[in-house]
Chain A
Amino acid sequence: MKWKAFLPYAGLMFMALAVGVLASYLTFGSRPVERPHTDALLLHEARPLPDFSLTDTGGGAFTRAQLMGHWSLLYFGYTHCPDACPTTLAALDRMMRLLDKLPAARRPHVYFISVDPKRDDPKLLKTYAAYFNPGFIGLTGPLPNLKALTGPLGADFSYGKPDKKGDYAVIHSTMVVLVDPEAAETALFTPPLDPKRMAADYANIVRYYGEQQS
């Protein structure tokens, strides 16, 4: 009987098919957890921040290493900013109050980074940041040090023409940058900032990050 000679081949083909089905099942099974849908722009892949060196309001150095081990929100502005900066910082304060229920270790640190070091001395920066939320941290630094961070983040800034009194506006980025505990840029919040939406996005992104790690 000739067909019997084909039996081993048929068996092999069946096994190959079974292996294929199993492999694809395993692939799907180990697929990373689903990315959350967010208003925030969640980067496809987190981008490690460059090395930088800024100054905190106590005069100490603040580097990339200080962003390790916790979530961070970075916002670049200046204290003589009447509209955008207070609006953003007030939104961040409302967002933080919505995140009160999270364990402290999972709540983000909020950094207000002044790109106007000429006018924003550490003392002013400290009271300014704390005015919006006692936990907010002010940072600044010499221009090249600031640019080392803002450049790679796409958060460039420049200065407007001074008026008669020497006052000038600062052209600065509107985004709030979410940085993960490995000091990598993870997501961007852009105006209009809705504190409720931001808090929900943040919680989802943190959960997603945790699921990926486990």
Chain B
Amino acid sequence: MRRLLPLLALSTCLLAPAAFADGPSTRVSHVWIRQAPPGVDVMAGYFTLENLTARPLDLTGVISPDFGSVMMHQSVVKDGQESMVEVPKITLPAHGSVEFKPGGYHLMLMDPKKNLYAGDMVSLTLTFSDGSQLAILAYVRRDAPTG
């Protein structure tokens, strides 16, 4: 089953944009999930999301079968104090992109179904305001990719 996952995800990727005659509306890159230290059951996910269309598009939700719940969060610094704010939707400008990165937007992935270690793969499904979905696979990593 594990080996089939990438195939499944790939087929979802291929199927999702099939609803649109003019190709996929979004593209994702720089995907990674930070491995949680022992005893911690919350992880952060990061990626860059591009809107390939000429209209603004909202990212309205993310789900994952590998976690109990997934939320979109933003780390906000005010007067040197960091807090996290839940974000119900994130608008991608027309032909623009939004980065989920440390210290900014991130996925808050809670209650993993099993222990996840560097190299493990997690599947995520992103939902957009135009009804389209994007299935992606994310590797768990110990630290941010460099370069």
Contacts and interface: CB of A to CB of B under 8 A. Distances in A.
A210 to B, nearest CB: 29
Task: Give the contact-size bracket for chain B.
Answer: 20 to 34
Given A83-B73, A171-B81, A191-B77, A131 B38 contact: yes
Contact of A169 (B37, B80, B83, B109): B83
Interface in B18-45: 34, 36-40, 42-44
A84 B43 CA distance: 11
A82 B83 contact: no
A172 B40 contact: no
A112 to B, nearest CB: 11
A149 interface: no
Contacts of B75: 83-84
Given A191-B77, A191-B103, A192-B103, A86 B37 contact: yes
B83 A171 contact: yes
Contact of B39 (A87, A127, A157): A127
B116 interface: no
A82 B42 contact: yes
A113 to B, nearest CB: 15
B83 to A, nearest CB: 4
A120 B97 CA distance: 37
A160 B103 contact: no
Contacts of B82: 84, 171-174
Contact of A124 (B39, B83, B144): B39
Nearest to A156: B81
A156 B83 CA distance: 12
B80 A190 contact: yes
Interface of B: 34, 36-40, 42-44, 73, 75, 77, 80-84, 102-103, 106, 108-110, 142-144
